[in-house]
Amino acid sequence: MKKRILGKGGLEVSAIGLGCMGMSHGFGPAAEKSEMISLIHEAIERGIILIDTAEVYGPFVNEELVGEALKTCRDKVVLATKFGIDYVNGNQVLDSHPDRIRMAIEGSLKRLKTGTIDLYYQHRVDMNIPIEEVAGVVKDLIQQGKVKHWGLSEAGIETIRRAHAELPLTAVQSQYSLWWRQPEEALFPVLEELGIGLVPFSPLGKGFLTGTIDKNTIFPSNDTRSKYPRFTSENMKANQIFLDLIKQTAEKKKASLAQIAIAWILAQKPWIVPIPGTRKKERLIENLASADIEFTQEELKEFNEALSKIEIKGTRYPAEFEKRAGQ
């Protein structure tokens, strides 16, 4: 597996990471724990270094899963988790009060069976707590040896600048894919200027870009896609034209749609590391092969121009989630 560097602190990771959320959260019933532990081991054996989870996934069970999987191989990976989202009466609530962060890190360390978190993200920006105060708490955790690097997820560019000035950021997580390219406009220039890496989640458009779901797909109520506008039957039917375009490139490259989606992200900047998730070994192997697919600048230009002519139907998040992003 090829390597990439996140941030000016020189955090070396695999060019493709592994997002573990979907193994136990967000996409219907949790998968069999033993099978997911085997899958994480398979990913590490195949060269994946960056393993991504979060306190809120489950909540807690995803960190427990990852911690169990890494018991015998913790030293082989860069472990990322997140703080800042709590559950109150079954609802997600943003909470980055200093005491809450200090409590969160202790819980994560225990569940992940480790003494330190390599990359610790604020999951969403809490507008009630100045980002400088959050950075101060993380700085203390770094001095205590409990955290090595820190980052933000779905943060706005002014927040990123303020946070970075207080404590240099290693990475920013953002949704970024062939059908969500907004980060290119304002986020990319800031990250390049400051020397911060980008870790895109949902690089496969929550499964749509694989071509394996369509207008006839019915999502269970505990699958987040059942609440997302882009995944209504009507919008998935309308967005099929987008997949048809990707198929043309996939045929030319003798690759799958998923491989084109990931390879396209890798071709954008050398400091981008996508973290596709999966529950299946064959999909893991398929995703990792994306690192070997290359685009010429001319191919990228033609592909991007064709993409820009297609209007994607449906917003990426429901309103209550959208308002938490970009703060």
Min mean pLDDT across 66-75, 86-95, 141-150, 192-201 is at 86-95
- Say if residue 7 is exposed, middle or buried (CB neighbours under 10 Å; 0-12, 13-18, 19+): buried
Residue 33 maps to a domain: yes
**Nearest C-alpha neighbor of 251 from the set 260, 238, 242:** 260
Neighbouring residues of 133: CB distance < 8 A, sequence distance ≥ 6: 98
Q: Quick check: 321 pLDDT over 90?
A: no
Percentage of the chain exceeding pLDDT 90 = 95
Would you call 86 helix, strand, or coil by DSSP? strand
Residue 215 lies in a domain: no
Residue 311, domain member (yes or no): no
Confidence tier at 184 by pLDDT (50, 70, 90)? very high
How many independent structural domains does the chain possess?
1
* pLDDT tier, 89 (very low <50, low <70, confident <90, very high otherwise): confident
Which CATH number do you get for residue 88?
3.20.20.100
pLDDT digits (tens, 9 = 90+) for 203-261: 999 999 999 999 999 999 999 999 999 999 999 999 999 999 999 999 999 999 999 99
Residue 314 lies in a domain: no
Residue 182's Cα: distance from chain center in Å? Answer: 15
Tell me whether residue 218 is in a domain.
no
- Domain membership of residue 182 (yes or no) is yes
Q: What is the distance between the alpha carbons of residues 4 and 1, in angstroms, rounded to a whole number?
A: 10
Report whether pLDDT(9) > 90.
yes
Task: Catalogue the active-site residues.
Answer: 57
User: CA dihedral defined by 24, 25, 27, 30, rounded to 10 degrees?
Assistant: 30
- Residue-averaged pLDDT of the chain: 96
Question: What's the Rg (C-alpha) of the chain?
Answer: 19
Overall average pLDDT of the 295-314 stretch? 94
Domain of 101?
3-206+258-294
* Cα separations in angstroms, 128 against 121, 167, 191: 17, 19, 24
* 308 falls within a domain: no
Q: Is residue 112 part of a domain?
A: yes
pLDDT digits (tens, 9 = 90+) for 106-116: 999 999 999 99
Residue with tokens 């980055």: 96
pTM of the entire predicted model: 0.97
